[in-house]
Amino acid sequence: MTLHEGPPLFSMHAKLPGETLLPDGYRRLGEAARDRLAEDLAAFFAQLHALDPTAMRMAGALPIGVWDTRDETLAPVWDLLPPACRTQARDALASYYALGPDPLGERYGFFDAHGWNMAFDAEWGVLNGIFDFADSGLGPIHREFAPVSLIDPDLTARTIRAYERLTGRAVERRRVFLQTAAMRLSELAGEIETGGAVDWTRGLVLDWFSQRAVG
């Protein structure tokens, strides 16, 4: 890293070799490459979650933000969803609101592990690195797995299984599913508000509720 005092203060970093990992790219991977990627992600999560939360707070880590799922925020979303999906989404939100504290607790984590933050070597099927820690912080462990589904729910399932083997912690698939539902609905509401990629984000919501579960 090269630090420039500015103004404004900013840093520059040597570029990690590789490309972002998008859904189509993941689907082209063989079984061995998919398992290796899941194991690398699981190890990354496990190592972050092993850091002492008190030490991370002293280093400047803050609680992660919450997804905005208030009634008034999500009001514009419902008319954009087919009736069946709308019913599923409302039911999922009700279950999401009923979730208690994370049974695995809260730790320092990345919480943004989607393919746009990855440097992936498509030729060799190897993850070279992960970047953009702006959304990292202290948060519930289950939430770590929600963004992974933006690559593919299959990768989420594999990563959870690998994480369980590494850590001995039992991850509740239903909790991850509900958190992912809340994330995607909140993001759709945000795109509607800003006039952003509404159709694309709506597609993510429809796709998620066709999954029904994280295997």
pLDDT in tens, 50-62: 999 999 999 999 9
Rounded to whole angstroms, the Cα distance separating 94 from 108 reads 27
Give me the long-range contacts of 126-131 (CB less than 8 A, separation at least 24): 126/33, 126/36, 127/18, 127/21, 127/36, 127/37, 127/40, 127/41, 128/16, 128/17, 128/18, 129/16, 129/18, 130/44, 131/13, 131/16
131 or 94: which leads in pLDDT: 94
pLDDT in tens, 75-112: 999 999 999 999 999 999 999 999 999 999 999 999 99
* Percentage of residues of the chain with pLDDT beyond 70: 95
Contact between residue 10 and residue 4 where contact means Cβ atoms under 8 Å apart? yes
CA distances from 128 to 19, 21, 118, 160, 200 (A): 9, 11, 8, 20, 28
Contact between residue 214 and residue 156 where contact means Cβ atoms under 8 Å apart? yes
| pLDDT of residue 35 exceeding 90 | yes
Q: What is the mean pLDDT of residues 151-174?
A: 97
Helix, strand or coil for residue 139?
strand
Q: How confident is the model at residue 209 (pLDDT cuts 50, 70, 90)?
A: confident
How much is the pLDDT for 3? Answer: 80
Q: Tell me the whole-structure pTM to 2 decimals.
A: 0.90
Contact between residue 53 and residue 138 where contact means Cβ atoms under 8 Å apart? yes
Rounded to whole angstroms, the Cα distance separating 156 from 184 reads 15
pLDDT in tens, 113-126: 999 999 999 999 99
| pLDDT of residue 212 exceeding 80 | no
Q: What does pLDDT average to over the chain?
A: 93
AA identity, residue 49: H
How much is the pLDDT for 1? Answer: 73
| pLDDT of residue 7 exceeding 70 | no
Sketch out the chain's domains with CATH numbers: 17-211 (3.90.1200.10)
Any idea which of 6-10, 26-30, 80-84, 159-163 has the lowest mean pLDDT?
A: 6-10
* Percentage of residues of the chain with pLDDT beyond 90: 83
How much is the pLDDT for 4? Answer: 79
Rounded to whole angstroms, the Cα distance separating 193 from 197 reads 10
